[in-house]
Amino acid sequence: MREVDGSETVVFDYGPERSAAILAVHGFRGTHYGLDPLARALAAKGFRVLVPDLPGCGESAPLRGRHDAAGYGDWLDALARGIGGPAVLLGHSFGSVIAAAAIARGAECRGTVLVNPILSQPLDGPRRIATAAARGYYRLAALLPERIGTMLLASRAVASLTGGMLASVRSPGLRRWIGAEHRRQAGTFHDRAVVLETFAAASGSTVPMFADGIDVPTLLLCGERDPLHPRPSAGIPSPGIPSPDDDAQALRVIPRRGHLLPYEAPGLLAECIGDWIRERLAG
């Protein structure tokens, strides 16, 4: 337990303590469990990985201020300073926005890894029916009496459905496990206000908003079938995606995988990240 920017933050530690740390941040409506398979795979390769529950999620207390990209960015900056400056900041999904915001606000690190990065506003994508349903779900949760609204947000059925929509892996066993993981984390939030504030941030903030402040080597790991950002697989340029001649950045698109790469392909991600760290950040 660490007090960081007014939040009692719980940080989970994987791998050998003497290794340079990777500080990894999970996404919206998740906890450290969402990065557990990837953290274990990286630890098996000799890396130390620190994974906090975001403030207001899991076992961590809420922030004193707003739960938006700026607030979370300041919190991550303070956490990074508190552990002596990690070698790498890693963020998954909305965590990629938080990592980008922290670096733009001065967080010290030697490089950043953005997994399933949010490169355009998630609710402006091609799945209009799903987009309308998501907006309606959170709007309804805000309008209902607090107890009922909180119960709706904690719905295990909705969490399982969301996990199924975001994953593209076809293995029935893996899909069942992903659904079970989402059900397990469905109600692990502090209160309705935190969820609604974070939803506003997660649906309205992107990595490119902070791109001008990212001055460290960057690895982007995208899923070919990511429903929240399908453009990398189509070869269409997008803000925040590195060009092939940009030595400071690298892009890897994982074939036949979706928005839940830490669940869908943790071993392959760990291999990509380990190779990149050794090639780009060694020394």
**Is the model's pLDDT at 279 over the cut of 80?**
yes
Average pLDDT over residues 260-265: 95
Average pLDDT over residues 207-235: 82
Cα gap 246→243, rounded to integer Å: 5
Q: What is the pLDDT of residue 242?
A: 52
**Is the model's pLDDT at 123 over the cut of 90?**
no
**Is the model's pLDDT at 237 over the cut of 50?**
no
**Is the model's pLDDT at 232 over the cut of 60?**
no
Q: What is the pLDDT confidence band of residue 236, given thresholds at 50, 70 and 90?
A: very low
Cβ–Cβ under 8 Å, residues 93 and 229: no
- Range list for CATH 3.40.50.1820 in the chain: 2-124+205-280
Average pLDDT over residues 66-94: 93
Average pLDDT over residues 46-53: 96
What tokens were used for 146? 């607090």
Please report which residue ranges of the chain form alpha helices under DSSP H.
36-44, 69-82, 94-104, 128-143, 146-153, 156-166, 172-185, 192-204, 231-234, 261-264, 266-280
Cα gap 49→23, rounded to integer Å: 6
Average pLDDT over residues 235-239: 44
**Is the model's pLDDT at 56 over the cut of 80?**
yes
Write the DSSP assignment of 183-248 as a string of letters.
Answer: HHHTT-BS-HHHHHHHHHHHHH--GGGGGGG--S-EEEEEETT-TT--HHHHT---TTPPPTT-TT
- Starting from the edge strand earliest in sequence, which strands make up the sheet with 218-223, in order? 11-14, 48-52, 21-25, 88-92, 111-115, 218-223, 249-254
- Output the average pLDDT for the chain: 89
Other C-beta atoms within 10 Å of 55: how many?
A: 27
Give Cα separations from 97 to 89, 117, 142, 240 (angstroms).
11, 7, 24, 11
- Which residues are within 8 A (CB) of 263 and not within 5 positions of it... i.e. 6 or more apart? 34, 37, 167, 169, 174, 177, 178, 181
**Is the model's pLDDT at 263 over the cut of 90?**
yes
First to last CA, the chain: 31
The tokens 């990286």 sit on which residue?
42
Which CATH number does 2-124+205-280 carry?
3.40.50.1820
Q: What is the pLDDT of residue 229?
A: 75
**Side-chain half-sphere exposure of 5, counting CA atoms within 13 A:** 23
- Compare 163 and 205 and report the one with higher pLDDT: 205
Model-level pTM greater than 0.85?
Answer: yes
Q: What is the pLDDT of residue 17?
A: 87
For residue 42, the 8-state DSSP code is H
Average pLDDT over residues 254-268: 95
What tokens were used for 162? 């969301």
Q: What is the pLDDT of residue 84?
A: 82
Average pLDDT over residues 210-232: 86
**Three-state DSSP class for 176?**
helix
